[in-house]
Structure 1
Amino acid sequence: MLADGPGRSAPNRLDRDVLSLPGVRTVFPFQGVNDLKAGTGVSADDLVEGYREIIDRAHAAGGCVAGAAVGPFKGWSERSPEAVRREVDAFIRDGGEFDAVADFDRIPRSPYDPGRMMPALDGGDRIHPGDRGMQAMADAVGLSAPDCDGTG
Structure 2
Amino acid sequence: MFLFQGVNDIKAEPGATADQLIAGYRRLADRVHAAGKCVAVATIAPYKGWPEWDPAGEAVRREVNTFLRTSGEFDAVTDFDRVLRSPDDPERILPAFDGGDHLHPNDKGMQAMADAVDLESLDCGSP
Please confirm whether the aligned pair reaches a TM-score higher than 0.5, indicating the same fold. yes
RMSD of aligned residue pairs (Cα, Å):
1.5
In 2, distance between residues paired with 1:78 and 1:42? 13
Q: Which of the residues 95, 101, 104 maps onto 1:125?
A: 101
**Using CA pairs below 8 Å that are at least 6 residues apart, which structure has the higher relative contact order?**
2
Higher helix share: 2
In 1, distance between residues paired with 2:62 and 2:106? 22
In 2, distance between residues paired with 1:40 and 1:122? 26
Distance 1:33 1:61, change over 3 A: same
Q: Percent identity?
A: 62
1:90-129 matches, cutoff 5 A: 90-129=66-105
In 2, distance between residues paired with 1:83 and 1:77? 16
Distance 1:79 1:133, change over 3 A: closer
Q: Which runs of 5+ in 2 are unaligned?
A: none
Distance 1:144 1:69, change over 3 A: same
Q: Which runs of 5+ in 1 are unaligned?
A: 1-26
In 2, distance between residues paired with 1:78 and 1:59? 34
| TM-score, normalisation: structure 1 | 0.76
Equivalent residues, number: 124
**Residue aligned with 2:39, SS:** strand
| TM-score, normalisation: structure 2 | 0.90
